[in-house]
Amino acid sequence: MKTALLFPGLDSLFLASKLKRWLEVPVGVSPRNRAAKNSLLGWALMEEVVTHDGGMRNNQMTNYIMPTAADIPPIRVFFEEHPYPFGPGGAKGIGELPMDGPAPAILNAIEDATGICLREIPATPEVLMEAMTKKAGALD
pTM for the model: 0.68
The pLDDT assigned to 139 comes to: 67
* Residues of the chain scoring pLDDT < 70: 1-9, 14-34, 90-100, 139-140
The pLDDT assigned to 72 comes to: 77
Measured CA to CA, the distance from residue 53 to residue 34 in angstroms comes to 35
Give the architecture-level CATH label for domain 13-139: 2-Layer Sandwich (3.30)
96 as an active site residue: the answer is yes
Q: Which amino acid is at 43?
A: W
Exactly one of 81, 96, 111, 120 is catalytic; which is it? Answer: 96
* Among the listed residues 38, 27, 36, the one whose alpha carbon sits nearest the alpha carbon of residue 95: 36
Measured CA to CA, the distance from residue 7 to residue 70 in angstroms comes to 14
98-124 in b/e burial notation, b at 16+ Cβ within 10 A? beeebbeebbeebeeebebebeebbbb
